[in-house]
């Protein structure tokens, strides 16, 4: 991949990268199209598919995470992607657990990654920033596209790029949703019929907050949080992990919510943990 990227760069072809964990849906494909738009017909679009073990806690769904490479390759071929990069664990993390000879260097963002996903999943963002830094060094992209669906992740990657001078432009593309408002996610596969219906509660919580802000212009975050909790609790198999209202640039929580404030929430529906967010 590095050799290929070097060749492309020498030929003056721009490279766009879309990092994914596979089991692709329309959200991923919209990122690949955004990458194509940025690099043009003569540019190169690389989609990486790698279920990154270092961003999963031992208790999480790493081994169960849905995988279907054959289907993914078909979708990406139809989408006009040039290369699908599918590294193996042994290549990405040589001898990960071997001391002292194994993999031992990580990239850690220390500020934006403290709250929300970072609080609920302690080693998660360390794994994300490390693997994305590696992918940037392997693919050497001019642009890389991430989804707004993972708002905090996109903010952390932008910070990492700025702080560590990665020569790449980050594009954040809008969240693609199912017809009933559920944000597309590979993990939606875990939701059987009834749970799938219950999963629309995230969207309903966001809509409630939007309506409340539209109506009162300014409303206390504590009151909105209580209302979100009520909505989530009214759904039998849903359990709120967190809901936050914060400044979209700094991710610092606000006490008064008004237009332009970002809302993010994580909800367990059955055993499946779903996240969503939106600018109010």
Asked if residue 31 binds ligand AMP (CB under 6 A), the reply is: yes
Among 129, 152, 185, 262, the residue binding ligand AMP under the rule CB under 6 A is: 185
Q: For ligand AMP, which stretch binds (CB under 6 A), given 116-124, 180-188, 212-220, 225-233?
A: 180-188
- Specify the residue, 9 or 33, whose C-beta has the smaller distance to ligand AMP: 33
- Specify the residue, 20 or 245, whose C-beta has the smaller distance to ligand AMP: 20
Quote the least distance from Cβ 217 to ligand AMP, whole Å: 29
Q: For ligand AMP, which stretch binds (CB under 6 A), given 69-77, 177-185, 203-211, 265-273?
A: 177-185
Please tell me which residue in 28, 44, 140, 225 is annotated as part of the active site.
28
Residue 246, burial from CB neighbour count under 10 angstroms (0-12, 13-18, 19+) = buried
Q: For ligand AMP, which stretch binds (CB under 6 A), given 76-84, 162-170, 183-191, 233-241?
A: 183-191
Annotated catalytic, 25?
no
Alpha-carbon separation of residue 167 from 33, 99, 267 (angstroms): 21, 33, 36
Neighbour-count burial for 151-189, b at 16+ CB within 10 Å, e otherwise: bbbbbbbebbbeeeebebebbbbebbebeeebbbbbbbe
Site for ligand AMP in 121-150 (CB under 6 A): 146-147, 149-150
- Specify the residue, 52 or 219, whose C-beta has the smaller distance to ligand AMP: 52
- Specify the residue, 29 or 235, whose C-beta has the smaller distance to ligand AMP: 29
Quote the least distance from Cβ 251 to ligand AMP, whole Å: 16
Asked if residue 175 binds ligand AMP (CB under 6 A), the reply is: yes
CA gap 57, 127 in Å, rounded: 10
Quote the least distance from Cβ 274 to ligand AMP, whole Å: 11
What amino acid positions are annotated as catalytic residues? 28
Chain residues that interact with ligand AMP, rule: CB under 6 A: 20-21, 27-28, 30-31, 146-147, 149-150, 173, 175-176, 183-186
């Amino acid at each position: 991949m590095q050799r290929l990227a070097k060749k492309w760069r020498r030929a003056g072809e721009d490279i766009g990268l879309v990092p994914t964990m596979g089991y692709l849906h329309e959200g991923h494909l919209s990122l690949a199209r955004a990458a194509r738009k940025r690099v043009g017909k003569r540019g190169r679009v690389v989609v990486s598919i790698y279920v990154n073990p270092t961003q999963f806690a031992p208790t999480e769904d790493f081994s169960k995470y849905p995988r279907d490479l054959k289907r993914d390759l078909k979708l990406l071929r139809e989408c006009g992607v040039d290369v699908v990069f599918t590294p193996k664990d042994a290549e990405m993390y040589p001898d990960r657990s071997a001391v002292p000879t194994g993999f031992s260097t990580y990239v850690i963002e220390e500020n934006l990654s403290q709250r929300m996903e970072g609080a609920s999943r302690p080693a998660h963002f360390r794994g994300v920033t490390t693997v994305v830094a590696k992918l940037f060094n392997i693919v050497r992209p001019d642009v890389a596209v991430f989804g707004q669906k993972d708002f905090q992740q996109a903010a952390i990657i932008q910070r990492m790029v700025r702080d560590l001078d990665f020569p790449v432009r980050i594009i954040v593309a809008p969240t693609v949703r199912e017809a009933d408002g559920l944000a597309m996610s590979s993990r939606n596969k875990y939701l059987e019929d009834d749970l799938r219906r219950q999963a629309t509660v995230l969207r309903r919580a966001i809509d409630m907050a939007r309506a409340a802000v539209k109506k009162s212009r300014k409303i206390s975050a504590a009151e909105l949080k209580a209302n979100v909790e009520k909505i989530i609790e009214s759904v039998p198999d849903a359990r709120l992990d967190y809901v936050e209202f914060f400044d979209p640039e700094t991710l610092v929580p606000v006490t008064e919510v008004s237009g332009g404030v970002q809302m993010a929430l994580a909800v367990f529906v059955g055993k499946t943990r779903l996240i969503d967010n939106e600018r109010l």
